[in-house]
């Protein structure tokens, strides 16, 4: 007689990392034999119910291996009780392994729309994900993505239970890396010191320009990293992504260029500086679109989680390169060496 399976404890021990599906799956579920009739299947199902938590699907095994699933409603509503259970069985469905990574499964779930997923190891059913586990998994995945995009390691405990020392360890390393990456902006300013001395008004717009480039890059990166996590885009789509983002950024660049003209006019800056600022805003916005569209997908292809390094590091990169663009345009426009 097939009965509720209790998975051995080794599926929850240290051999699986914290992001493995084995850490999320439930191990209490009901299985039925594929040779049962509908009447016998109902009888065995009702005999195995031990609480008020009635599952939406039952798992069907054949020779000790998972063969399919059947909806409880379909089983209970079938008028022909002599019909073999196998005739009601769903044979094609999403299944995962206990060592699958949470992020990979979350991407699959985003497209499947399923509310129950069997966890299978070498053909044998060892666990399952129901709506509750799926919701927990997706919540953890979204939380980790949000934390990584802020350049901090994910928290193992709820925020209020995490000590200040733990927060320091998770943030300090990334902030130091960002500090090193940001340091080259000082080198850029030092290199163009003469240009700044020749036209001191150029300095007024540095925060505005690097802020615009970083903000534009962060917008694109956040959207793209999420689309990659959901499996909507990959490296093969880089051409389409670039085309879409360059078209969008061209419209944004024109908008920002006009805003730059207006701002320079309000400050009473000369025509030359106004042209420089406006052209720089256009160039930085377009450059930001290229960098933010390509780097996350290249990182993914190299096996690096793009959520970890994308937004903060791309913003830092755009800050420095944006200054180079700014001063090069200024040198050309003002005839400086």
pLDDT in tens, 229-280: 767 777 788 888 888 888 888 888 888 788 878 877 787 777 888 888 888 8
CA distance 81 to 115: 27
Q: Say what percent of the chain tops pLDDT 70.
A: 73
- Residue in the block written with tokens 């350049």: 151
Q: Could you tell me which residue, 201 or 5, shows the higher pLDDT? A: 201
Structure tokens at 201: 């008004």
pLDDT at residue 10, rounded to an integer:
47
- Residue in the block written with tokens 């994900």: 129
What is the residue-averaged pLDDT of the chain? 76
Structure tokens at 212: 């615009």
With cut-offs at 50, 70 and 90, classify the pLDDT of residue 146.
Answer: low
Cβ-count burial 62-101 (b if 16+ within 10 Å, e if not): eeeebbbbbeeeebeebeeeeeebbebbeeeeeebebebe
Per-residue pLDDT tens for 165-194?
A: 776 766 666 666 666 656 656 666 666 666
- In the chain, the domains with their CATH numbers are 5-149 (3.10.580.10), 163-334 (1.10.357.20)
pTM, entire model: 0.54
CA distance 281 to 155: 37
Structure tokens at 119: 């966890």
Tell the burial category of 323 from Cβ atoms under 10 Å away from its Cβ (0-12, 13-18, 19+).
buried
113, 68 in Cβ contact below 8 A? no
For the ranges 3-7, 94-98, 100-104, 208-212, the lowest mean pLDDT is seen at 3-7
Other beta carbons within 10 angstroms of residue 179's beta carbon come to: 10
SS3 208: helix
Which helix (H) or strand (E) segment is 58 a member of? strand 57-62
Per-residue pLDDT tens for 55-102?
A: 888 898 888 889 888 888 888 888 888 888 888 888 888 888 888 888
pLDDT at residue 337, rounded to an integer:
56
Tell the burial category of 30 from Cβ atoms under 10 Å away from its Cβ (0-12, 13-18, 19+).
buried
With cut-offs at 50, 70 and 90, classify the pLDDT of residue 148.
Answer: low
Q: Where are the beta strands (DSSP E) in 130-168?
A: none
Strands 65-71 vs 57-62: parallel, antiparallel or unpaired? antiparallel
Other beta carbons within 10 angstroms of residue 4's beta carbon come to: 13
Q: Could you tell me which residue, 114 or 162, shows the higher pLDDT? A: 114
Which helix (H) or strand (E) segment is 211 a member of? helix 206-229
pLDDT at residue 224, rounded to an integer:
79
Eight-state DSSP code of residue 204: G
73, 137 in Cβ contact below 8 A? no
Per-residue pLDDT tens for 306-337?
A: 666 556 777 777 877 888 888 888 888 876 65
């Amino acid at each position: 007689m097939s009965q509720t399976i209790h998975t051995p404890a080794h599926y929850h021990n240290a051999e699986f990392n914290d992001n493995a599906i084995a850490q999320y799956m439930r191990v209490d579920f009901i299985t039925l034999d594929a040779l049962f009739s509908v009447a016998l299947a109902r009888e065995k199902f009702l005999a195995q119910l031990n609480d008020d938590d009635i599952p939406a699907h039952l798992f069907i095994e054949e020779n000790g291996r998972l063969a399919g699933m059947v909806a409880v409603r379909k089983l209970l509503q079938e008028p022909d009780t002599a019909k073999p259970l196998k005739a009601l069985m769903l044979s094609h469905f999403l299944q995962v392994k206990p060592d699958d990574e949470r992020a990979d499964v979350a991407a699959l779930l985003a497209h499947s729309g399923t509310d129950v997923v069997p966890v299978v190891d070498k053909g044998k059913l060892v666990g399952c994900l129901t709506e509750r586990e799926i919701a927990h998994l997706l919540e953890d995945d979204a939380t980790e993505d949000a934390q990584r995009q802020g350049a901090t390691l994910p928290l193992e405990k709820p925020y209020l239970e995490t000590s200040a020392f733990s927060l320091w360890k998770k943030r300090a390393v990334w902030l130091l890396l960002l500090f090193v990456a940001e340091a080259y902006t000082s080198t850029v300013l030092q290199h163009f010191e003469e240009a700044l001395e020749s036209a001191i008004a150029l300095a007024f717009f540095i925060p505005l320009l690097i802020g615009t480039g970083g903000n534009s890059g962060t917008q694109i990166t956040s959207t793209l990293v999420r689309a990659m996590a959901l499996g909507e885009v990959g490296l093969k789509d880089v051409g389409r992504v670039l085309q879409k983002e360059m078209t969008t950024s061209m419209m944004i660049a024109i908008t920002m260029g006009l805003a730059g003209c207006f701002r320079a006019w309000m400050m009473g800056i000369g025509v030359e500086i106004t042209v420089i600022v406006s052209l720089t805003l256009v160039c930085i916005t377009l450059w930001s679109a290229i960098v933010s569209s390509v780097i996350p997908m290249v990182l993914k292809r190299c096996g690096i989680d793009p959520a970890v390094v994308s937004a903060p590091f791309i913003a830092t990169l755009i800050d420095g390169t944006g200054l180079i663009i700014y001063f090069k345009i200024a040198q050309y426009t003002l005839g400086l060496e």
